[in-house]
Amino acid sequence: MWRSEPVAPADSFYQVRPECTDVPKTRFKIKAGKTLSERKWRAAFNAEGQLDIGKTLSRIHRGGIHPSIRGEVWEFLLGCYDPKSTYEEREQIRLRRRAQYTNWKEDCRLMFPLIGSGRYVTAPIITEDGHAIQDPIVLLQTNPGAQNGPFDPTSNPTPNMDVEPIKNKKEIQWKLTLHQIGLDVVRTDRTLVFYEKQDNLSKLWDILAVYAWLDTDVGYCQGMSDLCSPMIMLLEDEADAFWCFERLMRRLRGNFRCTDSSVGVESQLNNLASITQVIDPKLHQHIEQLGGGDYLFAFRMLMVLFRREFSFGDSLYLWEMMWALEYDPDLFSLYEDPQSAAEKDEGSKGKPKSIRQCGKFERENLKNAGKNSEAPLPISVFLVASVLKDKSTKLLTEARGLDDVVKILNDVTGNLDAKKACTGALKLHKKYMKKQVPKKP
């Protein structure tokens, strides 16, 4: 007789430190028959290892992903692997990427030897003109029998500290960010038992440091540690966690690009204003009258995808539902190297995209593609719009200034339902598209 799989509380997978008593409980429930379980996940692959992504997406939308398989499912949702690839092909890609990450990390280690050492810096290491600052404060990895604490450079000097000033502008810029990454790392998800281990903190620092070296346009910005942290927890191999984070940043890096006159997320805030104006003109007018027409109060929600508005477990549940809804089967081709992508394009010319393999939100965008010349908006903007819509009455009656708007939105922290938020976002998207898309004559 077949037995259902044991159902553990979702919170048990992301343990909170006992002294942190004010952390919101996770609302996400692991539901047998609804949540994508390990058994259902394995059954979604054929003998060669090709994945039926369409069936998987609908199950994720119904009940999320079981925490025990979250990491490997996310790799598909974020486009690390093509669902049509075989077990053997994925293993080759995985090994190649791990080697690539190791090489990049070694390049960074040669410039600053604390990369990969299990330690990280929380104080500046160079001046803006490239001169080394001696005696940076460095935290040590936990060792059995040793106490954690600031690194004492007089007793164990940091090796290979630069004596000559650095001339390379890229290297100067990178080294100027390393301590900021360290400061953010020690503040990221500190309520979780996982980050009591110095080794996990240093792994997070290493990945962010390597990414900052590679992405010269964006480098490192506050908020990236919040996006990267779950990858460290869900994927045991550091290189796999890096590539998952890198794929997520391909979607979100525009939010972090800054110029002298604007912040990257500004365009999404403008989109949010447009959506609110269409679906709730009275609320939009009220927000404008309060001086919030730039919608900057929603900056954090969009920047780090609701990490602060949900418990840790619920934010992961929200993310995977968003990615399942937005899933595009061409994602992997878009993310692979140009030669590989060109070969895939050549082989798929004339073949229409299978709508069954798309997420529900993406399917709606495809239906409207011929009617709307504008690029589709991300579901995250509609999620924020659904939160505003949900709080519309309270905002209209109680908000007498922007401080009140911020306070009302801060009160949603820990009280949002991820499934309800996604359902609301889909409804608003449909309503917005109907009002925006002109009817055919």
Single-letter amino acid, residue 326:
E
Contact (CB, 8 A) for 408 and 399: yes
Q: Under 8 Å CB-to-CB from 434, ≥6 apart: which residues?
A: none
In which band, very low, low, confident or very high, does the pLDDT at 175 lie, cut at 50, 70 and 90? very high
Lowest mean pLDDT among 62-66, 282-286, 326-330: 326-330
Q: Is the Cβ–Cβ distance between 286 and 343 less than 8 Å?
A: no
Cα distance between residue 244 and residue 249, in whole Å: 9
DSSP helix/strand/coil, 293: coil
Lowest mean pLDDT, pick from 56-60, 112-116, 181-185, 437-441: 437-441
Domain spanning 266-436, CATH architecture:
Orthogonal Bundle (1.10)
pLDDT tens for 297-332 read: 999 899 999 998 888 999 999 999 999 999 998 877
Q: Where are the beta strands (DSSP E) in 138-270?
A: 138-139
Q: What is the pTM assigned to this prediction? A: 0.88
Q: Does the pLDDT value for residue 162 go beyond 80? A: no
Predicted local distance difference test score (pLDDT) of residue 385:
95
First-to-last C-alpha distance (Å) of the chain: 60
Structure tokens at 276: 């609110």
How far does Cα 91 stand from its chain's mean position? 24
Residue 20: which of 349, 414, 430, 437 has the closest Cα? 414
pLDDT band at 372 (very low <50, low <70, confident <90, very high): low
pLDDT score of 21 more than 90: no
Specify whether the CB–CB gap between 189 and 229 falls below 8 A.
yes
Pairing outcome for strands 138-139 and 120-121: antiparallel
On the question of pLDDT at 261 being above 80, the answer is no
Model pLDDT, residue 259: 66
Residue with tokens 């346009």: 217
Q: What is the pLDDT of residue 27?
A: 84
Domain ranges of the chain: 91-246, 266-436
Residue 154 CA: distances (Å) to CA of 84, 136, 137, 369, 383? 56, 11, 11, 64, 52
| Residue/partner pairs of 147-150 with CB below 8 Å, 24 or more apart | 148/198
φ, ψ at 36 (rounded to 5°): -65, 110
| 246: CB partners within 8 A, 6+ apart | 211
User: Between these two residues, 304 and 257, which has the higher pLDDT value?
Assistant: 304
Question: Pick the residue with more confidence: 344 or 310?
Answer: 310
Averaged pLDDT, 423-434? 92
CATH classification code of 91-246:
1.10.8.270
Q: 3-state SS of 160-173?
A: CCCCCCCCCHHHHH
The pair of structure tokens assigned to 245 is 């984070």
Q: What is the pLDDT of residue 438?
A: 53
- For residue 429, how many other CB atoms are within 10 A of its CB? 26
**Greater pLDDT, 153 or 372:** 372
- 358 with 408: CB under 8 angstroms? no
Q: How confident is the model at residue 368 (pLDDT cuts 50, 70, 90)?
A: confident
Predicted pLDDT at 410? 87
